[in-house]
Structure 1
Amino acid sequence: CSIASYQEVNPGLFTIVTFPFLFAVMFGDWGHGICIFLTAMYLIIREKKLASQKLDDIVEIMFAGRYVILMMSLFSIYTGLIYNEFFSVPFELFGKSAYACHDPSCGDATTEGLVRVGQTYPFGVDPVWHGSRSELPFLNSLKMKMSILLGIAQMNLGIVLSFFNAKYFKNIVNVWYQFVPQLIFLNSLFGYLSLLIIIKWCTGSKADLYHIMIYMFLSPTDDIGENQLFPGQRIVQLVLLLLALVSVPWMLFPKPLFLKKQHEQRHQGQHYTMLQETDESVAQLGGQHENPHNHEEFEFSEVLVHQLIHTIEFVLGAVSNTASYLRLWALSLAHSELSSVFYDKVLLLAWGYNNVIILVMGVTVFLFATIFVLLSMETLSAFLHALRLHWVEFQGKFYDGSGYKFAPFAFASIIEEED
């Protein structure tokens, strides 16, 4: 990771919390989280002894990041409780299910025939969904929309941090011609999508959000019909679409023009001043003088092209970065389904044979699959994906990272360089 520029916002303060949380969203299982927690605690308790030993490369990396792993495990336990998964097995830890089976049709792994008999499950996913035919469509919709909400929230945080960078360095140009249009563009489209997701959850509407967002661009003036979620929705969409279109030239043209004007004002009359200084230097130095035109140059075309690249990158990135956060949904479902396959097709299948040898083999295969696939490969996969989301989607909004590591002056280092 690059070194932060001097006095710019350091993303480490926020990453301490957001990194293990995004990891846990993809690795949500409180049984697996406890396993990682025990591993981290072992490394922490024996850190003095392990620090004095020569470790393998993999163990050394784990030891160096033992506190990060501890945070990852705690967040995984939390999200696992929300998903209600313990090695893919649901538990009624927070009360009974809100539904009961009053029809023979719901006995064969389906939610048909279920009747609501109690209050909504107080925390996390209702255990009745697990093992039913509606489990995958339900969790698919839930986790996909949750990923979008988390992604938009984190990208907005990155844009807000760019404002604090600009404010601290007193760069008013970046505040009005970068921060403001970026915030408007992102929230006019994907912030609005996040609002629709929340409204749909609260109202229980059957509106098709894909249809709403697609026809918001293709036919913005058409009647929304059955997909209407609130009064005046069509007018709101027209205003948001107009704001998104206006924000693109707002990002592109004013900043280069303002910088050009600022440069001209700064160097107005400088040529006359430099000629006077040149005459004096000629008299003092006997004709040796610098070129009066050798001063700071301003290439408007270069600044405009740079701003054009930055604008295109942000506009396209707003779409691609939002889609990139869907990896939270994909890896979470993959982890859940792998856990379910190992539990149902290995452990329970071996248990059903009523044979000790087959049972021992099944338990052995289940343990190896859990340790090497779920606790090793899946952990590394979720770790790398969470790392990418922070480096690109989050830090790309505000982080420059063009600094260099502080090296204090020392005579010893000078001697070493000379040798």
Structure 2
Amino acid sequence: MAFEILDPRGRGSNVAGGRYRMSFLENLPAVEQFRSEEMNMVQLIIPVESAHRSITYLGELGCLQFKNLNKDKSPFQLTYANQVKRCGEMLRKLHFFREQISKSGLCPSDGPLLEMDIDFDDLEAQLAEYEAELQEINANNEKLQRTYSELSEFTLVLEKAGMFLSKSQTNMVAHQTEMEEASYNGDEFVDSPLLLEQAGMSRQGRLGFVSGLVPTAKVVPFERVLFRATRGNMLFKQVAVEQHVKDPVLSEMVPKVVFVIFFSGDRAKTKILKICETFGANRYPFPEDASQQRQIMVEVSERLTELQTTVDAGIRHRNNVLITIGYQLEKWIIWVKKEKAIYHTLNMLNVDVTKKCLVGVGWVPIFAKAQIQDALHRATLDSNSQVGTIFHMMDTTESPPTYFRTNKFTDAFQEIVNAYGMAKYQEANPAVYTIITFPFLFAVMFGDWGHGLCLLLATLVLILREKKLGRQKLGDIMEMAFAGRYILLMMALFSIYCGIIYNEFFSIPFHIFGPSSYRCHDLSCSDASSRGLVKYRDPYPFGVDPQWRGSRTELPFLNSLKMKMSILLGVAHMNLGIILSYFNAKFFANSLNIWYQFVPQMIFLNSLFGYLCLLILIKWCTGSKADLYHVMIYMFLSPTDDLGENQLFWGQRPIQILLLLLAFVAVPWMLLPKPFLLRKQHLLRLQGRAYGILDSSDTDSFDMERDFDVEHEDFNFSEICVHQMIHTIEFVLGAVSNTASYLRLWALSLAHSELSAVFYEKVLQSAWGYDNIFIRIAGFAVFACATVVVLLLMETLSALLHSLRLHWVEFQNKFYEGDGYKFNPFSFTSLGEENE
């Protein structure tokens, strides 16, 4: 076990502790790796006086993942719990300032994030002063704004309600008289006695009224409830306000109506006041005398002018305070977030019994060891500590985290693999091959170089504007498209390539590589689809001959071609997965997996489906008419029968018998030997431990016996046998189902081609057959919309999901365990992302 003491006496450093910079890992050259970076567990013994600065420098470096050594402690028992709480409170205040700046329509300063010499206690006190000042200003402004809104509404009531006050009183008396007469004449009024009572009261006293404003949306239910509550013994007058009114309570602009309610009696008044309160109607006193109305109007106008001046002064003062805060707001937020992250990390370290140093444990990539030592050395110098940090490597049996260096191109492909499961430490990384195989299998299903060009143009827009788009808030769908822009780029390029092979451009064939190799059977014919084709020259140089389009044998030919091609690609893809399992077993020195997993799996898969691929290639090369379905079926049912016209090469029958025997032998080869060999290895290991116990001291013997019992309990032979049986059955059945699953390449390619042909022939060509220009334009519009929505969006998503399924299930299950965990170093780079 090696260790180093970082000597505090050494070369100087001009790096300040508060500097915010990009992570060291972010600046490394990034290429997709076949295996993850090698990791080591390290232990740090940091003096207390340099602990804060050491963690700061490690956060700037961003290449050390700390382990939490205080999981068993509650948050209140941690050493730096109070500092974390204070940082959280400071962040709350800073977010409050940001909200206030946003509400005021101001913009925070976008100045550079320069190095700042900030004291924690001073900033905390300063933020508390700013918050208290802003809360006081806001409270005063809120009161003034409410008073101003109330006076504004009062002005509207004085203006609108006075014009019909006297007229409404007269109408109310007439209304009551009519109801009284109706009740005496025998009309059907349910509440006629009460109406008579109210009418008698109106003769003895004057009518009362209530005036105010109510939101327009509540006028109808407001009037209905008033009518029912007073039993019709009231008169409701209203007039709409032309402009929206700022509500004193809600502080929002609301459309309102000025109302006046005439009534008689105290009971009616009590009910009306309660209903006004329920509906949020603001009531205002209204003098009956015209001279008093004019006097109040003048006083209210003067008061409004004074309030407006006071409110404007308060807003200017608040804006000045917010501008002062906004100049450093973003710097403060980043600084406080960084401090909170530092103290949170310090809480993951153990405090030594002497309380003079902190002990931390973590994972670090081997290539970053020198940089970490340099950062700790600089922290010791800058904190004027007399004792250096002790940094030493630890031996452990714990599985390290997995870290792959990526760049903006390879990151999206790595995330596709990580979505299935994080690679186990040093396990083969499927993302290396996914960069090519994923977009290629997509293109096999999507192959049309016209659609590929459209996809390429859309992707180039995302790539060329990536800096601008990366700073914007995009929708969920656009976020996914932008994150996978380089995946889309590769998909578009491969789609163009496969489209040229299929010779499809929006389902239209082109003679790109010269004239066709076929012509009509009859030299005088013009319709190849009815007369048939004959070959008269060398094969077409590249891809599908354009003359197949529209012929009678187009569909059978393309079906056969794409189906056989899907089988070839699928078997090759699965073989690649099995070969990668060999490299995994070889790297981890697991000879059992090589001889009893890799070898029988290769034999079984290639004895059946590898042989089928060989037959397909021979048939293509020789032009044989053999029925491959018949060959494969009778290879199992009647392996000794004569092949007849289905024989493709000499010695085919004995080779098929041999391959069939190898496939049958491969099944017990995978199933039986491995569990017994594992049991034998376990017994030998236990026997070696037993000898070690006899030669050790009493204390050591007790520990080794305990380990002996634990290992003995952990090994379960029956469980291993069941697991191996499941794995064997899964592979044997999966070899068939996985091969059939790759036929989706054929099915989706055919569906894409036929859909494209339907849109072209039934929509665009049909519309182009008319002489009317409007029908042609409409037909082209329908064709363009169908192409974009169905073929470029829905078909792209469908092919992408199917390609994803082929990689996760058919390819990665051959070798990829994906039970690791991601390397997550302590780094300040995420602070800027959280702040956006």
TM-score (norm 1): 0.93
- Is 1:8–1:165's contact at 8 Å kept on the other side of the alignment? yes
Residue from 531, 536, 544 that aligns with 1:117: 536
Larger radius of gyration: 2
Structure 1 residue 363: deviation in Å?
Answer: 0.6
| CA positional deviation for 1:356 | 1.4
1:295 and 2:714 aligned = no
How far is the alpha carbon of 1:274 from its aligned partner? 3.6
RMSD: 2.1
Give the CA deviation at 1:110: 1.8
Structure 1 counterpart of 2:153: none
Contact 2:763 2:783 in 1 (8 A): yes
Residue deviations 1:302-326 (CA, integer Å, cap 9, x gap)? 1111000000000000000000000
Q: Does 1:388 align with 2:805?
A: yes
**Is the CA contact 1:106–1:114 (under 8 Å) kept in the aligned structure 2?**
no
Asked whether 1:397 is paired with 2:814, we answer yes
Residues 106 and 409 (structure 1), Cα distance of their counterparts in 2 relative to 1, 3 Å cut: same
Q: Which moved more, 1:390-399 or 1:111-120?
A: 111-120
Whether 1:69 and 2:488 are equivalent positions in the alignment is: yes
Does the Cα contact within 8 Å between 1:37 and 1:70 map onto a contact in 2? yes
Q: Secondary structure at the match of 1:293?
A: helix
Q: Does 1:224 align with 2:643?
A: yes
* Unaligned runs of at least 5 residues, structure 2: 1-418, 831-836
Amino acid at match of 1:318: A
1:30 touches 1:81 (CA, 8 Å); kept in 2?
yes
* Equivalent position of 1:242 in the other structure: 661
Contact 1:159 1:179 (C-alpha < 8 Å) held by counterparts: yes
Q: What amino acid is the match of 1:153?
A: A
Superposed CA offset, 1:339-375 (max 9, x none) = 0000000000001122112111111100000000000
Secondary structure in 1 matching 2:519? strand
Q: 2:810 is aligned with what amino acid?
A: E
Of all paired residues, the percent bearing the same amino acid is 70
Specify the alignment match of 1:417 in structure 2. Answer: none
Within a 5 Å distance, the mapping from 1:187-336 to structure 2 comes to 187-268=606-687, 270-271=689-690, 273-274=692-693, 279-280=698-699, 290=706, 293-297=709-713, 298-336=715-753
Q: Hey, what's the Cα distance between the residues in 2 that align with 1:291 and 1:19?
A: 46
Query: What SS does structure 1 have at the residue aligned with 2:534?
Result: strand
Question: Is the 2:581–2:814 Cα contact (8 Å) retained in structure 1?
Answer: yes
Q: CA deviation at 1:48?
A: 0.9
CA distance in 1, matches of 2:824, 2:783: 51
**Map of 1:359 onto structure 2:** 776
Please point out which of 450, 457, 476 is paired with 1:57. Answer: 476
The whole-number CA distance in structure 1 between the counterparts of 2:458 and 2:554 is: 31
Q: Do 1:278 and 1:290's aligned partners in 2 also have CA atoms closer than 8 Å? A: no
* 1:14 corresponds to which of 429, 433, 448: 433
Classify the secondary structure of the residue corresponding to 1:110. helix
Q: Is the contact between residue 189 and residue 241 of structure 1 (CA under 8 Å) also seen in structure 2? A: yes
| SS of alignment partner, residue 606 of structure 2 | helix
2:516 maps to 1:100: no
Return the alpha-carbon distance in structure 2 between the equivalents of residues 28 and 360 of structure 1.
27
What is the CA–CA distance in structure 1 between the aligned matches of 2:580 and 2:701, rounded to whole Å? Answer: 50
Partner AA of 2:627 in structure 1: D
- Following the alignment from structure 1 to structure 2, what is the Cα–Cα distance between the partners of residues 149 and 291? 51
Q: Which amino acid aligns with 1:174?
A: N
Matched to 2:519, the amino acid is: A
Name stretches of at least 5 consecutive residues in structure 1 with no aligned partner.
414-419
Structure 1 window deviating more from structure 2 (258-267 vs 315-324): it is 258-267
Q: What CA deviation, in whole Å up to 9, does each residue of 1:97-120 have, x standing for no partner?
A: 011225279644527442323221
CA shift in 2, pair 1:374/1:264, >3 Å? same
Instruction: Compute the displacement of 1:276 (Å).
Output: 6.7
More helix, by proportion: 1
Question: CA–CA distance in 1 between the matches of 2:469 and 2:701?
Answer: 70
- Taking the aligned partners of 1:389 and 1:92, their CA distance within structure 2 comes to 33
CA distance in 2 between counterparts of 1:267 and 1:292 reads 7
Secondary structure at 1:9 match in 2 = coil
Q: Give the corresponding residue for 1:416.
A: none
- Residue 87 (1) aligns with residue 506 (2): yes
**Maintained 8 Å contact 1:106/1:113:** no
Partner residue, 1:39: 458
> Is 1:111–1:129's contact at 8 Å kept on the other side of the alignment?
no
TM-score normalised by the chain length of structure 2: 0.47
Deviations 1:89-136 (A, max 9, x none): 000010000112252796445274423232211001000001112111
On the 8 A contact 1:147/1:329 being kept in 2, the answer is yes
Please give the alpha-carbon distance, in whole angstroms, between the structure 2 residues aligned to 1:274 and 1:410. 46
Say whether the 8 Å CA contact 2:521–2:531 is kept in structure 1.
no
| 1-structure distance, mates of 2:626, 2:427 | 44
Secondary structure of 1:302 counterpart: helix
Counterpart amino acid of residue 711 in structure 2: H
- From the superposition, tell whether residues 17 and 410 of structure 1 become closer, same or farther in structure 2 (CA, over 3 Å): closer
SS in 1 for 2:649: coil
- Equivalent residues of 1:102, 1:114 under 8 A apart: yes
Greater fraction of residues in strand: 2
- Whole-angstrom CA distance in 1 between matches of 2:776 and 2:542: 35
**How many residues were matched structurally?**
408
